[in-house]
Structure 1
Amino acid sequence: MTRTVLAIGAHIGDMDLTAGPTLAKLILDGARVTIVALTPGERSHPRLAPAEYKKQKIAEGEAFATAIGADFMVLGHSDGFLPDTDEAAAELATIIRDQQPDTLITHWQQSRNRDHEHAARLTARARHLADLPLEPSDPPHLRALADLPRHAVRTVLHTENWEDMDGFHPTLYVPIPDEAFYRWISAIRHQPFARGEHGFRHIDYYTALLTTRGCLAGYPRAAAFHSTPTPELTKLPAP
C-alpha cells in the first residue's frame, strides 16, 4: 500500500526547507507526497510588491515540488493574515478527506511567526474535522466535507524550524540518505530566499542542522521531528 503524506506549511517554502529532505526520502521510498502552502508568503520580499512576489513564490513552489516528485497546492489566504478559524480548518480538512493521508507534517505549535502557529492549529483542527461524522444540519462551511469519506490521520509530525523552537524537542529522527539529500539541495537552491538573498541563510542552516541531528541520531544526516503523542504513534518506525 502506497504511503500518502501531506506537508502543510504557512507559506511557500516552509515545508520545502524544514521537511524537504524527509519528503525527498519518502518519495524515493515510494510515497505519494503533496505540499500544501496555506499562503504564498508574498509579503516577505524586501523590495518586490506582494502581487509580483506572489507570482514568483508560486512558480518556486511548483518547481520545487516537481523537482522532488511531489504534488503542490497553494490556498488563497494572505501572508501575515492566516486566519485561525473553523472555516479555514474545514478547507484543509476537505483536502485531508480527499487525499486520505497516513501522515501530516506541519509546523511546531509555538513560534515567533503567527502564521506558523496558526498553521499548526489549523492542521490539528482539520485532522479532527476530517474524521468527524457530519449531518445536513451542520454549518455551511462543513458541507463540502460531507461529500467525502471520513478519514483518520494516524501520524502528525512537527518540523524543526529556526522560528518555531520555543518548547520544541525531537521525538523522532529520520535518517536522510545521500540521494534524498542531493535531490533536496538541487531543488531548494533555486529559491533565492532559501539561498539567503533576503538575509537569513536558510540552506546553510538546515544543511548544518541535518548534520547535527545526524550526529545525535547516529546517521551521517538526519531530520528531527516532534510527533504528536498518540498510542499508535509511539509504535511507529521512523518514516
Structure 2
Amino acid sequence: MAARTVMAVGGHIGDMDLAAGPLLAQVVQDGGRAVLVALTPGERGHPRLGVDEYRARKIAEGQAFAAAIGAEFHVFDDLSDGFLTPTDDVAARLARLIRAAEPDWLIAHWKHSIHTDHENASTVAERARFLAGLPGWAPSDGDQHAVGRLLYAENWEDDRGFAADTYVAVSEPAFQRWRAAIEGQAFARGETYGFRYIDYYTAQLTMRGCLARTDRAVALSSGDGSRVEVLG
C-alpha cells in the first residue's frame, strides 16, 4: 500500500480500532501516517464500572492502542456516549483536525447502524470533510484541505446495506501489531458484554482476504459500488 495519510473517525474509542485498526497498522508499516479519532470516549459501555471510571479507562486504552500501532490519537472527551449529535459545531471540530492532518483518505462509519452514535458519527465525518475543503470557511483554522477519498468501514453493528468494494491487504506484521494492541482493550476481549470482538474481526480479516486473493484484508465501501478495487 502506497504511503499515505489515513484518518479513521469512530463514534467511540474502540470502533475504528477494531474495524480499521489493521489497515492503520499497515499504513504506518508502509511509511504513512495514521490518525485515529473517537467522537466520544464510549464511557457507558461497561455493566459494572461507573461512567467516570470507565471513561478514564477507555481513554487510557485508546491512547495505548494508538501508540502500539504507531497512530496519532484524538478523542472528543467532552462529548457523551449515547448522546452524539451531528451538529455543525462537532463537524467543525473534526474539520479542523482534517485540515491539520491533511489525510488522503477519511474512513467513517457506514451510515446505517443499530447504534445511533455510529450513524451520527458518519454524518459528522461527511460534513467535516465538506467543511475542511470548503473555500473561505474558517480561514483562521487552517488552509482548506480536500480529502481525496471517503470510505466506510465494515462494522458488525453497521451492516445494513453495507457493500464492500474496496479491499486493503494486511500483512502478517501489521496484523500481529494490531492483534497485540487490541488485546489491551477490555471490551474487545469480551469483558463487558461477552461479545468475541477480536475473534470476529480476526475471522473477518481472513474472510475478506480470501475474496481479495490475499492472506488478510480490510474491506471498505465507497458507498457507490461502481467498481471493486484491491489495494496493497
Verify same fold: TM over 0.5.
Answer: yes
Aligned partners of 1:179 and 1:192: how far apart in 2? 23
Aligned partners of 1:113 and 1:14: how far apart in 2? 11
Of residues 141, 144, 156 in structure 2, which corresponds to 1:147?
141
Letter in 2 for 1:171: D
Matched, 1:160 2:154: yes
Aligned partners of 1:197 and 1:235: how far apart in 2? 37
Secondary structure class of the residue paired with 1:195 = coil
- Post-superposition Cα deviations, 1:67-106, rounded to whole Å, max 9, x if no partner, equal 0001101012110001111111111111111111111011
- Post-superposition Cα deviations, 1:7-40, rounded to whole Å, max 9, x if no partner, equal 1110000111000111111110011111011000
Letter in 1 for 2:231: A
Give the TM-score normalised by the residue count of structure 2: 0.93
- Post-superposition Cα deviations, 1:49-82, rounded to whole Å, max 9, x if no partner, equal 1100000000000000000001101012110001
CA contact (8 A) 2:96 2:141 kept: no
Q: Name the counterpart of 2:136.
A: 134
Q: 4+ residue runs of structure 1 moved beyond 6 angstroms? A: 234-237
Question: For residues 136-215 of structure 1, what are the structure 2 equivalents within 5 Å?
Answer: 143=138, 146-198=140-192, 199-215=194-210
CA RMSD of aligned residues (A): 1.9
Aligned partners of 1:188 and 1:174: how far apart in 2? 19
Aligned partners of 1:200 and 1:147: how far apart in 2? 41
Taking every aligned residue pair, what percent have the same amino acid on both sides?
A: 55
CA contact (8 A) 1:64 1:187 kept: yes
Q: Name the counterpart of 1:7.
A: 8
Matched, 1:123 2:118: no
Letter in 2 for 1:113: H
CA contact (8 A) 1:134 1:146 kept: no
CA contact (8 A) 1:3 1:31 kept: yes
- Post-superposition Cα deviations, 1:214-234, rounded to whole Å, max 9, x if no partner, equal 112211111110024599xx6
How much does 1:175 deviate?
Answer: 1.1
How much does 1:146 deviate?
Answer: 3.8
Secondary structure class of the residue paired with 2:195 = coil
CA contact (8 A) 2:11 2:117 kept: yes
Of residues 217, 227, 231 in structure 1, which corresponds to 2:222?
227
Q: 1:147 to 1:16 in 2, by over 3 A?
A: closer
Q: Name the counterpart of 1:238.
A: 231
Aligned partners of 1:38 and 1:172: how far apart in 2? 25
CA contact (8 A) 1:107 1:117 kept: yes
Aligned partners of 1:41 and 1:24: how far apart in 2? 22
How much does 1:235 deviate?
Answer: 10
Q: 1:132 to 1:146 in 2, by over 3 A?
A: farther
Q: Name the counterpart of 1:104.
A: 106
Secondary structure class of the residue paired with 2:206 = helix
CA contact (8 A) 2:205 2:216 kept: yes
Secondary structure class of the residue paired with 2:187 = helix
How much does 1:147 deviate?
Answer: 3.3
Letter in 2 for 1:209: Q
CA contact (8 A) 2:167 2:229 kept: no
Q: Name the counterpart of 1:80.
A: 82
Give 5+ residue unaligned stretches, structure 2. Answer: none
How much does 1:134 deviate?
Answer: 2.5
